[in-house]
């Protein structure tokens, strides 16, 4: 029975490169999930895109003497290249700068306005009399009322880290011309979140399959902090309000970005030639998953669901398997202090699968976990290479040499051989269940335990020794081992797609692992093997110091 799965992935902000925290938190998990479901033969639509609007981008553009458009285009291209290299298999990775997205966003805005879920209110906003424009919080500088530092902005003080309201700043001034801002009334629109409180509570209480951290966080917010929120800003970099008399105002990014999930589905449908195809992933029998980091939980468990409830007729999220954070060498990531491992940097020097392996087996599913280069290299050398890679290599090289480069013809299977094969089958089924429920870490650990068990089996059977007296016994043991490799290449495919594909070919299979489906494939005896090569390479331990020393150096 085929299922339909919609996978929405958090939209990365196009003002800087991606780092490993992003990947571990939001990008690798949905890719594992999507590959698993596609292999099972389910229909998957996995979408995301670059978030191109918002004040940080205009500020960065001014800093670098570029236009906002140049900045976001540059990072959008970089994101696309990263997905390709890392193997993050989006069906569509678009961006919020498209005409389609503006159209869909305006439709939602107008519909919610029409139904009374959006209302207008007048608020006092800082206005620069020289520049003749309203100033976003980040465009105002002044003295921090808490620590007296002179470089505080209207949203927060970088020195003491405290959040600030623009009105509290001492000696406020416009960041571009230095003039003192005046406060003027400005009309803005608010999303009436409070109107959805009871419906949200009822709905969330039914989501017993959600992760505990997601449920807790959401309930706390619903019971305590639910407020109507402004959804428009006085800026010109964004989606203009589709109403007369509101020139110079745009939709606030947080309101508009989540709509991207819907607009991306529509864009995907259009490019497929069937404009209405998006409906099959938004209405009726389909499960919607949203993969995000924990900082994004409420946008996907409260705000976006409220918008969908108000709009009516589209599916609410089925699950939001949010991950916790990744720390680097024990410390919290910091972009400004360059305490991060940047993805393009990583991909310029290393293969994708070792990173996918580490971030999977040490995924921050239920609590923060740590990335260190020492751990990365150790896991690569002692687990990926030594346990799995070497298992593949020892089986294939010996078979290739001693059995004429073909899958050997097995004899009668003894108890031990049958036990290993049934263990492979059990583990495969266990992994199926774990992946279905988004328990990625435990799933990949199961696969590794099967590799270990197979190493033990080989040691006991010693086909390299037995072959001298009993060629048939050797052939049988190798056939059994090769069958397990075939199981592993499928089971590990969602995690390690590149090396699984290689193994698939070494074993003599044609086409792609994914097309062969999520089931056990025993290579037919006699099937011609390809000349085996190591699946993974060891990494020099000296890289630990070399890589670690890159951290913390600000280079721009």
Partner RNA sequence: GGCAGCGUAGCUCAGUGGUAGAGCAGAGGACUCAUAAGCCUUUGGUCGUGGGUUCAAAUCCCUCCGCUGCCA
Site for RNA, rule CB under 7 A:
162-163, 212, 216, 220, 295, 327, 330, 332, 362, 365-370, 372, 375, 378, 382-383, 385-387, 389-391, 393-395, 397-398, 442, 452, 455-456, 458-459, 462, 464-465, 534-538
Specify whether the CB–CB gap between 119 and 137 falls below 8 A. Answer: no
Beta-carbon contacts of 233 under 8 Å, excluding residues fewer than 6 positions away, are: 55, 136, 188, 249, 250, 251, 252
Residue 116 CB neighbour total at 10 angstroms: 10
| Cβ at position 227, least distance to RNA in Å | 10
| Cβ at position 370, least distance to RNA in Å | 3
CA 158 to each of CA 151, 161, 413: distance values in angstroms, whole numbers, following the listed order: 8, 5, 68
| Cβ at position 137, least distance to RNA in Å | 13
| Cβ at position 70, least distance to RNA in Å | 30
- DSSP state for residue 522 in the 8-state scheme: P
Nearest residue (CB) to RNA, 212 versus 415: 212
| Cβ at position 353, least distance to RNA in Å | 11
Nearest residue (CB) to RNA, 117 versus 388: 388
Nearest residue (CB) to RNA, 318 versus 464: 464
Beta-carbon contacts of 196 under 8 Å, excluding residues fewer than 6 positions away, are: 117, 305, 306, 309, 310
| Cβ at position 217, least distance to RNA in Å | 7
Nearest residue (CB) to RNA, 232 versus 296: 296
Token code pair at residue 53: 């609007």
| Cβ at position 445, least distance to RNA in Å | 8
Beta-carbon contacts of 530 under 8 Å, excluding residues fewer than 6 positions away, are: 505, 506, 507, 508
Token code pair at residue 549: 């020393």
Specify whether the CB–CB gap between 32 and 514 falls below 8 A. Answer: no
Smallest Cα–Cα separation from 392: which of 540, 539, 536, 538? 536
Beta-carbon contacts of 177 under 8 Å, excluding residues fewer than 6 positions away, are: 128, 130, 131
Q: How far apart are CA 44 and CA 5, in angstroms?
A: 5
Nearest residue (CB) to RNA, 389 versus 523: 389
Phi and psi, residue 63, nearest 5°: -55, -45
Specify whether the CB–CB gap between 256 and 105 falls below 8 A. Answer: yes
Smallest Cα–Cα separation from 93: which of 109, 105, 106, 81? 81
CA 511 to each of CA 264, 274, 363, 459, 501: distance values in angstroms, whole numbers, following the listed order: 29, 28, 30, 32, 9
Transcribe 165-176 into DSSP letters.
-GGG-EEEEETT
Neighbour-count burial for 348-387, b at 16+ CB within 10 Å, e otherwise? eebbbbbbbbbbbbbbbbeeebebbbeebbebbbebbbee
| Cβ at position 385, least distance to RNA in Å | 4
| Cβ at position 465, least distance to RNA in Å | 6
Nearest residue (CB) to RNA, 538 versus 550: 538
* Range list of β-strands (E), 229-307: 229-230, 232-233, 250-251, 287-291
* DSSP reduced 3-state for 185: strand
Nearest residue (CB) to RNA, 54 versus 97: 54
Q: How far apart are CA 76 and CA 95, in angstroms?
A: 8
Nearest residue (CB) to RNA, 223 versus 414: 223
Nearest residue (CB) to RNA, 223 versus 274: 223
Nearest residue (CB) to RNA, 224 versus 313: 224
Nearest residue (CB) to RNA, 277 versus 379: 379
* DSSP reduced 3-state for 289: strand
Nearest residue (CB) to RNA, 220 versus 528: 220
| Cβ at position 379, least distance to RNA in Å | 8
| Cβ at position 390, least distance to RNA in Å | 3
Q: Sign of torsion, CA 153 158 160 162? A: positive
| Cβ at position 337, least distance to RNA in Å | 12
Nearest residue (CB) to RNA, 370 versus 516: 370
Specify whether the CB–CB gap between 5 and 285 falls below 8 A. Answer: no
Nearest residue (CB) to RNA, 73 versus 430: 430
| Cβ at position 170, least distance to RNA in Å | 18
| Cβ at position 110, least distance to RNA in Å | 29
């Amino acid at each position: 029975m085929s299922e339909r799965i919609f996978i929405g992935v958090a939209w990365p902000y196009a003002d800087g490169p991606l780092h490993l925290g992003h990947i571990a938190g939001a990008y690798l998990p949905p890719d594992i999930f999507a590959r698993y479901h596609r292999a099972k033969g389910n229909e998957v639509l996995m979408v995301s895109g670059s978030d191109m609007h918002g004040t940080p981008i205009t500020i960065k553009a001014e800093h670098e003497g570029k236009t906002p458009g140049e900045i976001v285009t540059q990072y959008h291209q970089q994101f696309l290249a990263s997905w390709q290299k890392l193997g993050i298999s989006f069906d569509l990775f678009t961006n919020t700068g498209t005409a389609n997205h503006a159209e869909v966003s305006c439709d939602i805005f107008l519909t919610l306005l029409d139904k009374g879920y959006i209302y207008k209110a007048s608020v006092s906003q800082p206005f620069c009399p020289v520049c003749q424009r309203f100033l976003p919080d980040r465009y105002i500088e002044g003295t921090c009322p808490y620590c007296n530092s002179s470089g505080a902005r209207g949203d927060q003080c970088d020195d003491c880290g405290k959040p600030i309201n623009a009105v509290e700043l001492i000696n406020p001034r416009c960041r571009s011309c230095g003039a003192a801002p005046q406060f003027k009334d400005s009309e803005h629109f608010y999303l009436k979140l409070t109107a959805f409180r009871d419906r949200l509570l009822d709905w969330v209480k039914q989501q017993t399959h959600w992760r505990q951290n997601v449920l807790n966080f959401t309930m706390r917010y619903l019971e305590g902090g639910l407020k109507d929120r402004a959804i428009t800003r006085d800026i010109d970099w964004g989606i203009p309000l589709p109403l007369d008399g509101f020139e110079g105002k745009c939709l606030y990014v947080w309101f508009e970005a989540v709509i991207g999930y819907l607009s991306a589905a529509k864009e995907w449908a259009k490019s497929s030639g069937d404009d209405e195809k998006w409906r099959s992933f938004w209405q009726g029998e389909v499960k919607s998953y949203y993969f995000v980091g924990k900082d994004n939980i409420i946008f996907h468990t409260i705000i976006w669901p409220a918008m969908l409830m108000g709009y009516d007729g589209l599916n609410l999220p089925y699950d939001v398997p949010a991950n916790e954070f990744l720390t680097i060498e024990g410390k919290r990531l910091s972009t400004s202090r360059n305490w991060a491992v940047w993805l393009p940097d990583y991909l310029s020097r290393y293969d994708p699968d070792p990173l996918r392996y580490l971030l999977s087996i040490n995924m921050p599913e239920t609590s923060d976990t740590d990335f260190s280069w020492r751990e990365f290299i150790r896991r690569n050398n002692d687990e990926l290479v030594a346990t799995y890679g070497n298992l593949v290599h020892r089986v294939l090289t010996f078979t290739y040499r001693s059995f004429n480069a073909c899958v050997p013809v097995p004899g009668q299977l003894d108890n031990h051989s049958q036990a290993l094969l049934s263990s492979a089958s059990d583990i495969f089924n266990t992994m199926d269940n774990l992946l279905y429920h988004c328990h990625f870490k435990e799933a990949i650990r199961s696969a590794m335990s099967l590799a270990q068990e197979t190493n033990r089996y080989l040691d006991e059977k010693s086909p390299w020794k037995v072959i001298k007296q009993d060629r048939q016994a050797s052939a049988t043991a190798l056939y059994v081992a090769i069958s397990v490799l075939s199981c592993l290449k499928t089971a590990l495919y969602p995690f390690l797609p590149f090396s699984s594909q290689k193994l698939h070919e070494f074993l003599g299979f044609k086409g792609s692992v994914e097309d062969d489906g999520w089931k056990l494939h025993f290579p037919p005896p006699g099937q011609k093997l390809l000349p085996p090569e190591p699946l993974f390479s060891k990494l020099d331990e000296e890289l630990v110091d070399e890589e670690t020393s890159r951290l913390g150096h600000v280079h721009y």
